[in-house]
Amino acid sequence: MITFNHLAKTFNRYTPNEIVLFTDFSLTVKPKELTAIIGPNGCGKSTLMNMIAGTVAVDSGEIILDETDITHLSPEKRAQLIGRVYQDPSFGVASNLTILENMALADKKGQKFGLKRLIQKNRIPEYKTLLESIGLGLESKLNTKVSYLSGGQRQSLAIVMAAMNQPKLLLLDEHTAALDPKTSRVIMEKTRSFLEDLGITTIMISHNMRDAIRYSDRVIMLNHGEITLDEPSSELDEAQLIEIYQQM
């Protein structure tokens, strides 16, 4: 579970370009819930994601992950608790390394290790099992460099790597936006199934309203840093969301 208590964030304070984005933002995301965050450009989606990850500091308020106050933790310390998958398929993976080497790196997240001892052979069966659960055949390509994979395969690998150590929270930052529609649908379906099996609390940013409804448990719409809609996905349809968008 993650809770946001009275968050405030202003950019370029006391300048002509001042942007007041969040003033008193509060929200709780339930354990094992996949929550989709939608809204127009500039509504605060990316800023919220970056405040969770620690790459943007809050002005006031607090962020509580389970029972840990992470508000002032460094991004490096938060990364031990939070996994993140980015929009760009090249982010989150090392393209010049093999799938096996990438999996081993993710396995060592937050630990000290030497490159000579990166891969532990006894962990390979576990890597294969995780990759098999995605269903793209990556488990048979362990020695293939990631640079040879398609965008969808890279994103699938990034999701497995981000979730393999059971983080308390997973952030999906428009992780299918750079993919073609067919690949995006496949990756969304596999993402949903994979995360349901692991039971990881997840926040997903999306510009695709259909995906937000179909693959999440809950949809939250932001506008200028405020929640304008917060409903179970099962009670929404795309036409409703389009109508609300048009009124903004």
State the pLDDT at residue 178.
86
State the pLDDT at residue 113.
54
**Whole-angstrom distance, CA of residue 6 vs CA of residue 167:** 24
Tokens of 124: 């390979």
**Whole-angstrom distance, CA of residue 101 vs CA of residue 112:** 16
**Whole-angstrom distance, CA of residue 187 vs CA of residue 172:** 12
| Sequential pLDDT tens for the chain (248 residues) | 999 999 999 999 999 999 999 999 999 999 999 999 999 988 999 999 999 999 999 999 999 999 999 999 999 999 999 999 998 878 889 999 999 999 999 988 766 555 557 788 899 999 999 999 888 899 999 999 999 999 999 999 999 999 988 999 999 999 998 888 888 888 899 888 888 888 999 999 998 899 999 999 999 999 999 999 999 999 998 888 888 877 77
Q: What does the longest C-alpha to C-alpha distance in the chain come to? A: 59
State the pLDDT at residue 154.
92
State the pLDDT at residue 89.
78
Phi, psi at 64, each rounded to 5° = -115, 120
* pTM as predicted: 0.90
Phi, psi at 105, each rounded to 5° = -60, -45
Residue whose tokens read 């073609």: 180
**Whole-angstrom distance, CA of residue 194 vs CA of residue 73:** 29
Hey, what domains does the chain have and what are their CATH numbers?
A: 2-246 (3.40.50.300)
**Coil, helix or strand at residue 37:** strand
State the pLDDT at residue 238.
86
Tokens of 39: 């809204």
* CA distances to 43, 50, 89, 102, 162 from 53, in Å: 18, 5, 19, 21, 13
Phi, psi at 70, each rounded to 5° = -105, 10
State the pLDDT at residue 115.
54
State the pLDDT at residue 19.
93
